[in-house]
Amino acid sequence: MTLSPSALTQVADYFKVLSELSRLQVLCSLKSGSKNVTEIMEETGLGQANVSKHLKILAQAGIVSRTPQGVSVYYEIVEPFIFDLCELVGDRLSLRLQEQSQQLKQLESLRRNKNVSAGRL
């Protein structure tokens, strides 16, 4: 699949929205269902201005929706595949860490064998 530069720009912008830790924390808070800013603050430990700013960005990106209810606004995830994407990335990172760990063990083993051989001479 070949994407045009303008389509790739939109993909890059989408990933930029997801590249901020606080926004991911807000999304994780919303995974269990719709919440208002106060509830998100309580779950994430983030301040009101911070949560509101990130919710605005997530809403502009079309990742969350906002629904006024009385004096509160409730937010919910529009695109639940976000969590599949996060899980896919997490699985890949875990695999990469396992590979790196194995490589380090091999290097340590080589170093030990070299030291043992040098000590015998």
Cβ–Cβ < 8 Å for 36, 72: yes
Tokens of 110: 């080589």
The pTM for the full model equals 0.77
Give 18-66 pLDDT, tens digit per residue: 999 999 999 999 999 999 999 999 999 999 999 999 999 999 999 999 9
Residue 74 C-beta-side C-alpha neighbours within 13 Å: 8
- Alpha helices (runs of H) in the chain, residue ranges in sequence order: 5-18, 21-30, 37-44, 48-60, 81-120
Residue type, 56: K
Which contacts qualify for 10-13: CB closer than 8 Å, 24 or more apart?
13/61
